Structure 1
Amino acid sequence: MDRLVYYHHPQAENFSLTFSSASPAEIRSRREQSDESTKLIGYPFETPVYVLYEGDKEVESAHEIDFDRNWLTERIRTLPRAGKVVTFRLVELLEAAVDVREADEFRLYKEFEPQKIQQALDHVSWGGPLPKVAGEVMSNLILRHSLPNANHRTGIAMLQFCIESVEPDFAMPRTHVDDSAWREWVDPYIVDSKRLITVRRNNVRFKTLAELDVDLVERKDGIQIRLAEFELDMHWREALSKYAGLHESHCTEFAQAVLQRAERDDLLDRQGPTKQEFITYLEDGLVERDFREMF
């Protein structure tokens, strides 16, 4: 039977795995040294494994979510115009997702970090092939993880807007979470994306788990990561770079799949937008758009 540990604490999903050991004394020592709130699980394998979980923010309901425009403007006033425009659109998308999903069921897992949105835009190959540009827009927004939730769904929306910025008549295949097509082809891309970004941030921790003969790590939503399928033995900085590249390739493949599923193979070799063309479309081309239709 596979030896499985949880990445998020089963009773407190805002607590995530930070350290593991076969030594109860070592895990207690690490717990005493931690400056964060902690929880501990001992996994009763034949050779027990002890895992320390840390958390610094309570999971909140989105029932009261309200990104006041004056508050938001102050938070992003130092960003270049491109960062401001994308931030406003992402917030509108998040609010639409909350509206569609019902606020009581929508959870906020982290603080809003708009400065990371500009960082994402700085790592896109603007003007390159359309699938590459669209895939990199999606990938880098997901990797920076700037929103409290819905980073994948809003990333897919931005991929769609990137395609529309060069082909306004583009009809996006349905990617709604309540649609059977989602489970058929969109959800597997998102699941693999979440595996990649989890390994990217935790290769050293997961290497320790593998050395303790753990086979699987399960994160929230039941997504399992089989450790033997990933390269873990590298410096964490190298892992950040390596898995960012793999994630960009993964999202580029998704962009290609979107175009092919929409029967728009003619766009596979189309040049993607420049940054200014993309920002102009976000600013002027979406004025009457009801983003709830995207969720």
Structure 2
Amino acid sequence: MAQVVHYHHPQAENFSLRYSSASLADLLVQQKELDGATKLIGYPFDTPIYVLYESETEIEDATNIDFDREWLGNQIAELPREGQVVAFRLVELLEAAVDVREEDEFRLYKEFEPQKIQQALDHVSWEAPLPQVAGEVMSNLILRHSLPNANHRTGIAMLQFCIESVNSNFEMPRTHYDDETWQEWVDPYIIESKRLITVRGNNIRFKQLEELGIDLVERKDRIQIQLAEFELDMHWRDALSVYATRHEDHCTKFARAVLERAERADLLDTVGPTKQKFIDYLESGLVERDFRELF
């Protein structure tokens, strides 16, 4: 039977894996050195191992989605104009997602970090083939994880807007949570995306688990990561680069699947937008758009 360790603490999702060891004494030493709140679990395998979880944030419910507008405005004002436009649209998308979902089912896991949005825009290959540009927009927004939740759903919305900025007649296939097609084709892409980004930031931790005999790591939403399927033995900086590239390729594949499912094969070889064209569309092409329809 596979030996499974939780990446997120099973009773507290805002606590994530930091250290693992076959020695409880070693982890108690590590626990004293951490600044954040911690929880310790012993896994009773044939050879027991211990895992230390840490959290630096508190989970909040969606009733706290009402950002401090003065703080938010000041944060966004420090960005270049293009970053400001994307940041405002992302906030609107997040609020729409909360409005559609039940508040008690929607959690805020971290602070909003608008400065990361500009980083995402700077890593897109503008004017490459449309699926690549749209996929990289989605991928880089997800990788930077600027929002407190819904980074995948808002990333998909931005992929859609990227395509629309080139062809205003494009109609996005349904990707709604309450639609059966979500389980059929969208959900697998999101699950694999979450696997990639989890491995990307934890290759050293996962390598240690593998050396302790662990086969699977399970993160929240019951997403399982088979450690043998991933290359873990590399410097953490290399892992950030390698898995960012894999994630971009994965999201580009999703963009192609979107176009094919929408029966828009004519757009597969179309040149993607310039950064300015994309920003102009976000600023003026989405006026009076009800973003709740996207969720």
- Structural RMSD (CA): 0.7
Aligned positions of 1:4-23 closer than 5 A: 4-23=4-23
| Structure 1 partner of 2:278 | 278
Q: Deviations over 1:35-60 (max 9, x none)?
A: 21110000000000100000011100
- Is 2:126 the partner of 1:149? no
SS in 1 for 2:203: helix
| Structure 2 partner of 1:137 | 137
Q: Deviations over 1:80-138 (max 9, x none)?
A: 00000000000000000000002222100011000000000000001110000000000
| Structure 1 partner of 2:255 | 255
Structure 1 residue ranges (4+ consecutive) displaced by more than 3 angstroms after TM superposition = 68-71
C-alpha separation in 1, matches of 2:60 and 2:11: 15
Give, in angstroms, the shift of residue 64 of structure 1: 2.9
Q: Contact 1:67–1:91 at 8 Å: present in 2 too?
A: no
Q: Deviations over 1:221-243 (max 9, x none)?
A: 00000000000000000000000
C-alpha separation in 2, matches of 1:14 and 1:121: 28
- Is 2:19 the partner of 1:38? no
C-alpha separation in 1, matches of 2:223 and 2:54: 20
SS in 1 for 2:182: helix
| Structure 1 partner of 2:103 | 103
Give, in angstroms, the shift of residue 286 of structure 1: 0.2
C-alpha separation in 2, matches of 1:30 and 1:6: 19
Give, in angstroms, the shift of residue 71 of structure 1: 3.3
C-alpha separation in 2, matches of 1:218 and 1:80: 39
Q: Which amino acid aligns with 2:170?
A: F
Aligned positions of 1:75-86 closer than 5 A: 75-86=75-86
Give, in angstroms, the shift of residue 68 of structure 1: 4.8
Aligned residues: 295
Q: Deviations over 1:244-264 (max 9, x none)?
A: 000000000000000000000
Q: Could you state the TM-score of these two structures normalised by the residue count of structure 1? A: 0.99
C-alpha separation in 1, matches of 2:221 and 2:81: 36
Q: Which amino acid aligns with 1:44?
A: P
Aligned positions of 1:28-177 closer than 5 A: 28-177=28-177
C-alpha separation in 1, matches of 2:11 and 2:86: 35
- Is 2:204 the partner of 1:220? no
Give, in angstroms, the shift of residue 63 of structure 1: 1.2
- Is 2:246 the partner of 1:246? yes
Pick which of 67-76 and 185-194 moved more. Answer: 67-76
Q: Contact 1:126–1:133 at 8 Å: present in 2 too?
A: yes
Q: Could you state the TM-score of these two structures normalised by the residue count of structure 2? A: 0.99
Structure 1: give runs of 5+ residues left out of the alignment.
none
SS in 2 for 1:165: helix
| Structure 1 partner of 2:199 | 199
Q: Which amino acid aligns with 2:141?
A: L
SS in 1 for 2:77: coil
Give, in angstroms, the shift of residue 173 of structure 1: 0.2
C-alpha separation in 2, matches of 1:39 and 1:69: 34
Give, in angstroms, the shift of residue 70 of structure 1: 3.7
Q: Which amino acid aligns with 1:73?
A: G
C-alpha separation in 1, matches of 2:220 and 2:237: 25
Give, in angstroms, the shift of residue 75 of structure 1: 1.2
Give, in angstroms, the shift of residue 74 of structure 1: 1.0
SS in 2 for 1:76: helix
Q: Contact 1:165–1:277 at 8 Å: present in 2 too?
A: yes
Structure 2: give runs of 5+ residues left out of the alignment.
none
C-alpha separation in 2, matches of 1:262 and 1:70: 41
